[in-house]
Structures are given as structure tokens and as C-alpha cells.
Amino acid sequence: MQGNDKFGEFLKDVKTLAIVCNQWGDTGKGKFVDYFSEWADIIARGTGGANAGHTILINGKKFVFHIVPSGIIHDFEGKINIIGKGVAFEPRVVKEELDVLDKAGLSYKNLKIAYNAKLVLPQHMLMDRIKEADSGSKKIGTTGRGIGPVYADYVSRVGLSVNDMLNKEVLVKKIKKNLAEKIKLLRCYDKEAIKEIMHHPHLSDGRFYSEEEFFDVNAIAEEYYEYGKFFKDMICDTDKLLKDVLGRKRILLEGAQGILLSVEHGSYPYVTSSDPSIQGLTKGVGLDEKDVDLVLGIVKAFYMTRVGKGPFPTELGGERSEEWCNTHTRADEEKEYGGGTVNSSDEFEQGVGIRFSGSEYGATTGRPRRTGWLDLPLLRNAIKVNGSDVILTKLDVLDGCKIIKVCMEYEYDGDDYFIGEKVFRKGDRINVGVPDVNILKHCRPIYKEFPGWESDITKAKCYDELPENLKKIIDFVWESVGVNAKMISVGPEREQTIFKE
């Protein structure tokens, strides 16, 4: 691929490249991380944890990985993969992922783990799940991987880091300190519910459970100390490693989730607890935004998806879809709506049809992803942070869709609402999305309709081979937002990638 002129030209002046997502995640970052891993010497991840999921093809078989960077399959070529300090590190999951690699005969000898990555403990998963179970209709719809509690503990100054697994006495002391307040709080909760969660396979089937104190500190410390021994040779100062080679080696920064799920820039509180924007990604690997030569923000087009709860103005089927996706499985959906297509006349069923066509089911939870039309106000907002160079993905999912709708702006239909010095009033037109729940839930999308394209685009090799109707939408949309669509993905394989210029 690097012999390919376009590819060489594209990355001519680039030493550090970042791939982030401009939506709610699940936009096909994995394909592009894999694509650019061939170019990179080092692949580094800096945010999120086992809440993320990327599918990796190993010897023709699909595996879903959560924490190990997608670039790991290039380890045998001497490429370094880094799990940075901003990552929520769950040792059980990472060990399982490495076991999979072992079984497939693949190496991970160049994997490096930040000594100061945030350590996920059983109590984090318990707190996450209890809080969700207790929140009724106010649920966030988390993945249950302890992400919120682990970052909360870090900023509350009671968190543990990967390094603590190497020092047994400190490990025991810190686990006790971390648990002290939680145990007091847990005494107010339903004991049977706690017991049940503690016996979940993600919490090692009850191995860490104690009837009296809920947690068996010794069992946790023993297990984590053993993990420490296992990971010891991989743990190091990854910030320094990257700084030392910055500008000399080719570095690929692999984003997780998407900017609309950012705790800093997303639709708070319906977000994850790290910052998947370029700002959070660079911070999570110990670099600065200005160290990055090219940021490519992925945009799924011309539909988008969201997992879990929270506002989604262009959602097909609105609240019905949100409710359905958060309470049903793929199997339920196939049974009930097996005939849904991208052209179904009922909006909800059209959403299901797009889900079928794009295989939009969570890699971590298996949940159906809520689907809706591409939202330009939210994209205009995203590129203020992530920059205007984008990759369009999954365009082939809408092959054969007769009418494509694009949300150009919103009409606000809520009560007067202040955001800082600005007041939003009923009837206001909103061109740049404001990711505030109280605004978003009152935004009525204003669509422009475009005729779709009939043909199969998965075999297109260059921009000129794409159908005219599709190119018209791309041109219109990107002029209206001011983004530069650098690459276009027309299928899951590497070869199904088109450079626009």
C-alpha cells in the first residue's frame, strides 16, 4: 500500500497522525487504524477502556478486542503498540485479549502499558452497575465496565494505577483506602443485588465477594498482584517513550468512542467519562495537540448511530427507537422486524432497516444501535475541536436507498433557555449544534432531501466511479459544513477506500 502514490503523497509531511470520531462512536475507526498501522512505527491509544470494541480479523476469523490497540496485529513487524495513561486499564480483559493472540500464534512482544494508566477494579464495575440499576428512567445506558467510577476515583484522589499492581503492600493499602467510603455507601443498597452483580463473569464469578464487607480485599490484591507479575515487562513510562521519538518515528494515535460522547464536549451527562476528542486523545498519551501533524475525524454518512440513552435529534423513530434499542437484542429485532429495509415507509422500521444493512449492533454489549440521519449542526460543532479533515465511512450501507435526508439545521421549540450569555427562544434556527441536553431534546431537525443512488458502490476504485447522485450529496454537504472529505470508505475491506483528491 505504501507504494501507492496517493497514499505516499497524502502522508508526505506527516509524522504524527490521529484518527478520532466526530460522532457517537462506531463509525469505523478500526478499519482506518488498521489501514494506517501499515504506515506507522508506533500505534498508541489514550482514552476509554473495555467500553470500546473493535473487531480484528485474525487468520480470517473475527475477534472483538476492547483495550489492546488495533495495531497489535502488526506487532510481529516490530511495531510498538501503546496503552496510554488516559486508558481505563482492566487487566482481566487485556490478559484475555493477549491469550487470544497467543492462541492465534500472534505476538505482542512490543506492547507497552503506561505505568500510570487508570486501574479498573471489581468495585468500579459494581458501582457502575448499581448506579445504573438504581437510576430508573435516568439511566445513562453505560456498558457496565466501571468506566465512570474509575475516572471518578482518579480525580477524587483515591484511584489506583497500573503501577500499583507491582508493589504488593501499597496495592493492599490503596485498595483498602479506595473501598472504605464505598463500603459505607453500599450498606444502604440491596444486599442481594450487590451479591448478584459480584457474581457476574466480568467480576470473576464472585471470587472477590465477601458477605460481611462485600469485597474480599485479599482476593483482589492477590489477583491484581498476579496480573502485575504477568504485565511487568510491558509496564513503563509511555509518555517518555513517545516524546523521545516525536517527529522522528511515525506515530498513529488511535481514538476510542466519539466526540459526542466526550465528558468535555459531548451531550453531558449522556457521555462516557473520558474525552475522546483530539484534545483528550493527545493528553491521554502524554502529547500535545500541536504535536499532531494530521487529525482525521471519522464521519459515518449519511446516517449516524448512538448506543445507550441520551438525545439524538435525527433519530429514526424517535423515542420509540430509543426505548426499543435499550431494551431489546438483535435476535428480538430479527424476529419482529426481519423485513425492515432502508426504504421502509415507517420511520422506525427504516431505522431498523439501516441497522440491518450496516450491521449496527454494539461490539461490546450487542445492543442494537439507534439510527438516524446525518446531523450537520452536530458535525459543525465537532469540527470546531477535531478540525475539518474527515473520512466518510459506511457509504455503501445506503446503497439503494431512494431518498437520503440530511439535517441542515434545527428549529428550537423549547422554553427560553440560557447558554452563557446567549438565550435560545422558541422558533430559533440553530445551525451549529449545542450539545446541551436541554437544548438538544427540543431541536426539530430541518432536512434537505436528496435522491439516492441505485448502484452498488462497493467496487468503486476512485472518486469518479461513484454515482453522480452520491457525489452531489457529498459536495453539497461538505460545502455547507466546511469540511474536507479526504477519504471515502465504500466497504469494510482496506481496498474499499477511495482518496478524494
* Residues annotated as part of the active site: 26, 54
| Beta bridge pairs of residue 322 | none
- The identity of residue 103, as a single letter, is K
Query: Where does this chain touch ligand IMP (CB under 6 A) — which range of 143-151, 165-173, 337-345, 433-441?
Result: 143-151
The reply to whether 358 sits near ligand IMP by the rule CB under 6 A is: no
How many CB atoms within 10 Å of residue 9?
Answer: 10
The reply to whether 42 sits near ligand IMP by the rule CB under 6 A is: no
Q: Which three cell numbers stand for residue 354?
A: 439501516
How many CB atoms within 10 Å of residue 362?
Answer: 20
C-alpha to C-alpha distance for 23 and 211, rounded to whole angstroms: 43
The reply to whether 140 sits near ligand IMP by the rule CB under 6 A is: yes
Residues in contact with 276: Cβ distance below 8 Å, sequence separation at least 6, in sequence order:
20, 21, 25, 47, 48, 255, 256, 257, 258, 259, 261, 262
Q: By C-beta, is 281 or 307 nearer to ligand IMP?
A: 307
Q: By C-beta, is 86 or 452 nearer to ligand IMP?
A: 86
Query: Where does this chain touch ligand IMP (CB under 6 A) — which range of 137-145, 162-170, 408-416, 456-464?
Result: 137-145
Which contacts qualify for 123-128: CB closer than 8 Å, 24 or more apart?
123/149, 123/178, 123/179, 123/182, 123/215, 124/149, 124/150, 124/153, 125/149, 125/197, 125/200, 125/202, 125/203, 126/186, 126/194, 126/197, 126/198, 126/203, 126/214, 127/182
Q: By C-beta, is 106 or 133 nearer to ligand IMP?
A: 133
C-alpha to C-alpha distance for 219 and 488, rounded to whole angstroms: 50
Residue ranges in 253-312 that form contacts with ligand IMP under rule CB under 6 A: 257, 261, 272-273, 307-308
The reply to whether 51 sits near ligand IMP by the rule CB under 6 A is: yes
Contact 50, 257 (CB under 8 A): no
Q: Which three cell numbers stand for residue 216?
A: 474480599
The reply to whether 47 sits near ligand IMP by the rule CB under 6 A is: no
Q: By C-beta, is 255 or 452 nearer to ligand IMP?
A: 255
Residue ranges in 380-419 that form contacts with ligand IMP under rule CB under 6 A: none
Give me Rg for the CA atoms of the chain.
Answer: 23
Selected from 26, 153, 275, 396, the binder of ligand IMP by CB under 6 A is: 26
- The identity of residue 453, as a single letter, is W
C-alpha to C-alpha distance for 163 and 227, rounded to whole angstroms: 11
Shortest Å distance, C-beta 369 to ligand IMP: 7
C-alpha to C-alpha distance for 124 and 334, rounded to whole angstroms: 34
C-alpha to C-alpha distance for 222 and 218, rounded to whole angstroms: 6
Q: By C-beta, is 147 or 485 nearer to ligand IMP?
A: 147
Residue ranges in 5-24 that form contacts with ligand IMP under rule CB under 6 A: 24
**Which position's Cβ is nearest ligand IMP?**
308
Q: By C-beta, is 301 or 473 nearer to ligand IMP?
A: 301
C-alpha to C-alpha distance for 247 and 244, rounded to whole angstroms: 9
The reply to whether 147 sits near ligand IMP by the rule CB under 6 A is: yes
Shortest Å distance, C-beta 261 to ligand IMP: 5
Q: By C-beta, is 132 or 239 nearer to ligand IMP?
A: 132
Query: Where does this chain touch ligand IMP (CB under 6 A) — which range of 134-142, 162-170, 421-429, 449-457?
Result: 134-142
The reply to whether 148 sits near ligand IMP by the rule CB under 6 A is: yes
The reply to whether 317 sits near ligand IMP by the rule CB under 6 A is: no
Buried-exposed string 298-315: b where 16+ CB fall within 10 A, e elsewhere: bbbbbbbbbbbbbbbbbb
Selected from 145, 174, 265, 500, the binder of ligand IMP by CB under 6 A is: 145
Residue ranges in 431-460 that form contacts with ligand IMP under rule CB under 6 A: none
The reply to whether 143 sits near ligand IMP by the rule CB under 6 A is: yes
Q: Write out the residues near ligand IMP by the rule CB under 6 A.
A: 24-26, 51-53, 140-143, 145, 147-148, 257, 261, 272-273, 307-308
